[in-house]
Chain A
């Protein structure tokens, strides 16, 4: 039995070696995806371009903001925002220094381009924080002069665990890894089986004593190896480009990845039983792996904030479960108790699709 499985796996590797299109999909595609997504999907807002209308000529600036220009009249404010030269304009009032020194309240106007709501929110938060800490500092100085200490009743000290700097790439890399693995696994296995259907070579295998289990195992082994290589590439790239180290246990990571590959490959095998041409298989694999793993897996959009109906729908992608596992292991260094249920879901997912594939295959045998 093992010899037969091995014969299939070896044949598959030899074919793959000569199939440049497939090699491209299998190895180059993940790297491109990683680079694009890793750099493009970034929720962090840095280098906000601002213009300052300093009617008082006494600027205080910071690293979060890039001062693009000074302006000196009201008309220019509109021009700056309209033409997207800057994202925000700060207007310091004429008598700011004088009022500050005489301990009067100062009103600073902050005009933000609200078209990109997410960035606008972030900008507002930065400004609030900056203003707050500057106010405290001024208050302290003022009190120090009068010989008193500032009493702040509650001082909130937030610490963000697992991702202390709240970098969105740390959050995205596990999702990206899930997405890349599911795409390459589903596409490669379904194409490789459908190609045999298309070319008629599967007939020769059907008449041999090879069982479908042996055939599928032989077919999937090379793609499991490739997927593990891909996973390593993604993790290495995550480390080199985005400074992400694996906090948890490598063996658990391997276990989770196997469970995920089982689910993803069985989805691919299922697709191969319903598709009769490589084109159909490619489309079906894309629709069932790329879109759900991008939108429904929790990769970018948190599942908890989706409507219930959509939350149920998210179970159609095994990437959802894998991302939970990956985040637990990669970012939190959690043990198996944090994600054992996800392993079970992945197991069920894989079994359901293998069962469906067997059913469809049996039916098609009587056609």
Chain B
């Protein structure tokens, strides 16, 4: 059985379709990445899956229970943590832990055991009486995750858990996610950091409420962009891009720092054509041209632009 099975899930607010008939499955114990731009419908989907928003149509089975008519059972089997880290800033660390343990009905030995586990993963041993509001963001975020899974749910939903956190804390946080996953917990995480998406077993991408891609990161990179990609390093990036975009054989261009990525429409074009065009015809010094395998970012920009063009038409 899959941990989550989403079937034709749709949510309409008035005239606006926030989530448009999406389908996907999440396997038991995997880390599942849920990607999309802001406003693409990620949070709406998650809110339906955790049972606090009713779908307009369609359904989903979370841990085997329908979100439509068994939301109480769904809630018992999941944990949830959002970008806002819903801890009480005016309570101490241990008071927060005790509260969340209390509403999930943990007590006695079990409570002691889980409390110690949360303190350990949040790196807060011996700091249990510190007021939560005074903790640094990264620690607070791990404490939030710890309390969100204090009742050892089978599935945990993380809605942009790492937004606004420094890179080292993000790395520590992902270590914790991996630890949970190794322990058999299914993790569904939304993010817009594409480097984080690389840590996920499976990924889906949604745009304007529609699912536009799914697979693991390798599949995404090979299945959705068939054409070769060239990475160009040059002095005058913007000028180079303008020149390239006039050529028929150039599909899409995007800038990555000092580089330009060009998706070609024509397989016969190679590095030589670029040097020829930019350096010889236009006098731009080109440092390097290299054929690369696409990054997730290439794939997503490509997919979202393609989808947006389709929507405009």
Question: Are A210 and B103 in touch, CB under 8 angstroms?
Answer: yes
A14 to B80, CA, bound (A): 24
Q: Please, how many residues of chain A have a CB less than 8 angstroms from a CB on the other chain? A: 25
Q: Contacts A15-B90, A203-B84 given: A10-B102 contact, CB under 8 Å?
A: yes
Q: B155 → chain A, closest Cβ, in Å?
A: 12
Chain B residues with Cβ below 8 Å from A10 are 98-99, 102
Chain B residues with Cβ below 8 Å from A208 are 75, 100, 103-104
How many Cβ-Cβ contacts under 8 Å join chain A to chain B?
73
A3 to B101, CA, bound (A): 10
Interface residue A46 (Cβ < 8 Å from any Cβ of B)? no
Can you name the residue of chain B whose Cβ is closest to the Cβ of A206? Answer: B52
A200 to B76, CA, bound (A): 20
Interface residue B256 (Cβ < 8 Å from any Cβ of A)? no
Chain B residues with Cβ below 8 Å from A7 are 98-99, 101-103
Contact of A4 among B53, B90, B103, B148 (CB under 8 A): B103
Q: Please, how many residues of chain B have a CB less than 8 angstroms from a CB on the other chain? A: 30
Interface residue A8 (Cβ < 8 Å from any Cβ of B)? yes
Q: Contacts A18-B90, A203-B82 given: A3-B102 contact, CB under 8 Å?
A: yes
Question: Are A207 and B80 in touch, CB under 8 angstroms?
Answer: yes
Question: Are A203 and B86 in touch, CB under 8 angstroms?
Answer: yes
Question: Are B86 and A209 in touch, CB under 8 angstroms?
Answer: no
Question: Are B80 and A204 in touch, CB under 8 angstroms?
Answer: yes
Interface residue A6 (Cβ < 8 Å from any Cβ of B)? yes
Question: Are B53 and A3 in touch, CB under 8 angstroms?
Answer: no
Contact of A209 among B76, B91, B95, B101 (CB under 8 A): B76
A18 to B133, CA, bound (A): 13
Chain A residues with Cβ below 8 Å from B107 are 3
Can you name the residue of chain B whose Cβ is closest to the Cβ of A210? Answer: B103
Q: Contacts A3-B107, A209-B104 given: A200-B90 contact, CB under 8 Å?
A: no
The 10 A-B pairs with the shortest beta carbon distances in the complex, nearest first, are A7-B102, A204-B86, A200-B84, A207-B80, A11-B99, A201-B86, A206-B52, A209-B75, A207-B50, A209-B76
Given A4-B102, A208-B103, A209-B76, list of 9 further CB < 8 A pairs? A11-B102, A199-B84, A201-B87, A204-B80, A207-B51, A209-B72, A210-B103, A366-B54, A367-B13
**A-B contacts, 16 listed (Cβ < 8 Å):** A4-B105, A7-B101, A7-B102, A8-B103, A10-B98, A11-B102, A18-B90, A199-B89, A200-B84, A203-B52, A203-B84, A204-B86, A207-B78, A208-B103, A209-B76, A209-B103
